[in-house]
C-alpha cells in the first residue's frame, strides 16, 4: 500500500482477512468490519458499498489536509467477541505540481 499522497489524491485500500495457513479467509457475514482514520478531518475513509472480491472491506483513503503519520485502523470483530486489528500510517503532502507561475512586481521606488 502506498502510504503517501498529495492533497489532490486518494489511495484505494482493501482489508483482507487470512486464516491460520495464510490463505484469504472466507468472510463471515456476521463479522463486524471497520476501517477508521485516527484523524478523519485530514484523511477520510470512504468505504465501497460492497467490498471488492477477496477482501472484507475496501474503498478509498481521501486526503483532506496536510499531515504526517495518520493511523488507519482496520478491525474484524467475530460474533464470539474475538477480533483482529491491523494498522497502517498514511501521510499527506502539499502538491508541488504547479499549473502556472507568475512574477509579481511591486511599486517602483527611488534608487
Please report where in the chains the cell 509579481 appears, as a residue. Answer: 104
- Annotation: CATH topology of 4-90: Immunoglobulin-like (2.60.40)
* Confidence (pTM): 0.80
Do the beta carbons of residue 11 and residue 2 sit within 8 Å? Answer: yes
Please give the pLDDT value at position 98. 58
Q: What is the pLDDT, as a whole number, of residue 100?
A: 62
Q: What is the mean pLDDT of residues 54-76?
A: 92
Q: 94 near 23, Cβ under 8 Å?
A: no
pLDDT 10s digits, 55-64? 999 999 999 9
Amino acid at each position: 500500500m502506498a502510504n503517501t499522497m498529495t492533497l489532490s489524491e486518494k489511495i484505494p485500500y482493501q482489508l483482507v482477512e487470512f486464516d491460520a495457513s495464510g490463505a484469504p479467509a472466507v468472510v463471515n457475514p456476521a463479522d463486524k468490519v471497520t476501517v477508521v482514520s485516527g484523524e478523519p478531518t485530514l484523511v477520510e475513509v470512504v468505504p465501497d458499498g460492497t467490498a471488492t472480491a477477496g477482501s472484507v472491506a475496501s474503498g478509498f483513503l481521501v486526503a483532506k489536509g496536510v499531515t504526517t503519520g495518520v493511523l488507519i485502523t482496520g478491525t474484524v470483530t467475530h460474533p464470539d467477541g474475538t477480533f483482529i486489528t491491523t494498522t497502517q500510517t498514511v501521510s499527506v503532502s502539499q502538491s508541488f505540481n504547479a499549473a502556472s507561475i507568475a512574477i509579481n512586481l511591486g511599486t517602483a521606488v527611488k534608487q
